[in-house]
Structure 1
Amino acid sequence: MAHVSAGVEYALHSLVFLSRSQELEQPPSARDLAALQEIPAEFVAKLFTKLQKAGIVVAREGIGGGFILARPAEDITVLEVVEAVDGRKALFDCKNIRAKCALFAGDTPNWAVEGVCSIHAVMLEAEQRTRDVLAAHTLASVARRGAKKAPENYGEQVRDWLAARTPRRARRAQTLQKASEI
């Protein structure tokens, strides 16, 4: 059972691609990033709405618009992305089962329910450690880790692929502008 959604994974991949394309004259759109990953543009648009609300990306409006990182990739943690996409949710939902033991016959003694449940305490520790690990990694560190595995020119290929889509958006804008003049 996954506690982190697939949306987080797609958001992280999109943000890593975005971090590699920051120097492009025209920033990639949600549609560009969706096409790059071969996923629905509407899905990426919903993710980027959440990322924008969280202050992770900034949108440039219009047909030639797109997204840029709101801060340097070194300053955006994986935890921020997880919380932006999935919200802050608990790893474990304690049902206080310890109070419902048949031996107590409905009269639960205080010793059985005092303090934090030992199982819940372990789950809280696991959740905190997970949060600490996610907070320790940034988009830049994830990108560097991925770059170690990829061919040396992969980053250039991503930038070139995204840059090649820009003229299509520019032509689309010109076509729409000409149509509105008629």
Structure 2
Amino acid sequence: MDTHAPIAVAELAPEELPGNVGALGELLHACVHDGASVGYVLPFAPQQAEAFWRDKVLPPVATGTRVLWVARVGGQSGGRIAGTVQLDLDTPPNQPHRAEVRKLLVHPAFRRRGISRLLMAALERRAAALGRSLLTLDTRTGDVAEPLYASIGYRVVGVIPGYCRDPFADHLDPTTIMYKAL
């Protein structure tokens, strides 16, 4: 892995998503197998990871209720997808000022290069441009993502015990709910 290769972050248009389902599936598959608590448990097949992007992400991206970014290492046009994040804009009529951060993922081979920060900065800029002044998210309590979010200005609202099943073991983990005012 070239640690000096350029990193490019860009929104992935709805028409680009089908052609990137394989690479995005590989990213999700690698993250879950590395212990990410992002809704899946082992065993977790590559086909399940691809189905997530095709069935759960493509429809809201196509309707404009979700925005998807990818970070590519090696340049935007031909680089490998190393990370992704989503901005969920599907809020009730009385909440047009907020949005939810979903599935910040960075491939284990590309961590510690600032990719998460680049993705979150792009997401926050776009949310602000869309008039969204409040972002929320949840993360497994004690995960490496929790201090990352805190370092970029997210504040803890609280912890919900027994929120999600651990990807490796048959026990429930707590989740931390966080927010950031833009």
Q: Into which bin does the TM-score normalised by the smaller protein fall?
A: under 0.3
TM-score by length of 1: 0.26
Structure with greater helix share of residues: 1
TM-score by length of 2: 0.26
Larger Rg: 1
Q: For CA contacts below 8 A with separation 6 or more, give which structure has more relative contact order.
A: 1
